[in-house]
Amino acid sequence: MAAPGSCPSPAAPSAGHPPVCLAADASGGSGSQETPLRPRLVLFGDSITEQSFRPGGWGAALADTYSRKADVVVRGYGGYNTRWALFLIHRIFPLVGLVPPVATTVFFGANDAALLGRTSERQHVPVQEYRQNLRTIVDHLKDCSKSMMILLITPPPIDEDGREQYARSLYGKDARSLPERTNEMAGVYASQCIELAKEMDVHCVDIWSKMQLTEGWQKLYLSDGLHLTPEGNALVHKEVVQSLRGAGLKAEDMAHDFPHHSKIDGVFPEKAFQ
């Protein structure tokens, strides 16, 4: 029996070519961190991040943009606020044992900004605590890596009419009479996110403002007054890619993980992998 992490001997190599061994010692043989085949881009956030790999999602589009250049890893948690996110950061971003991502997006605030005394008050986080929680997350990411590109994304604007229509579609006449979120309050949280990004010298995308620059943004960008339509996802994708490129992470300048097929000799393929 082959030793753990080694390749068993084949009965007969095919077509005269030596066997390819894909197994490897996860510790790299010395107990050090294993370098992944591709750098990682981690998307950390609430449901807007969790849903980003649905058809037309901004995370899926990001994975396509960085195809074979970087692995886009989604760590989105529907309904979470920054208070609950603090319980996750040491597990998602351990300080040892895992090579840190080259970039991380932090996209929280839509739930923190839920109003007290309304149906979603369980998710509410006071705005100053929200800012402090974001600071704690950024500090932890900086402890993980001094070179990681950190990108804060503000909560999106709220289409209050859209939220009311959505509630009525779910609960009919029993739908709440008062909005559980308002655009004005979302803007308060967005401003704190922007100010903190400047203070901590990290990147920021102000989705709250950018969406509202377009006439009819309420229905164009938001599907239920809060979550994103394909057009809303496209806007987030565009802004995130622009920020990544501005930080030096241009997909066209990043190396492929393995040779392009055009570089592989049909007779001696092993040459391309030496």
Helix (H), strand (E) counts: the chain:
10, 5
Options 9, 14, 32, 47, the catalytic residue: 47
Cα 109 to Cα 144: distance, rounded to the nearest angstrom: 23
Give the number of other CB atoms < 10 A from CB of residue 174. Answer: 8
Q: How many other CB atoms sit within 10 Å of the CB of residue 205?
A: 23
Residue 145 known to be catalytic = no
CA dist 245 and 253 (Å) reads 10
For residue 122 the two structure tokens come to 């369980």
- DSSP, collapsed to helix, strand or coil, labels residue 71 as strand
Both tokens of residue 121? 């008050």
CB 180 within 8 A of CB 163: yes
Alpha helices of 124-182 — where are they, by DSSP H?
A: 127-144, 160-171
Query: What residues act catalytically?
Result: 47
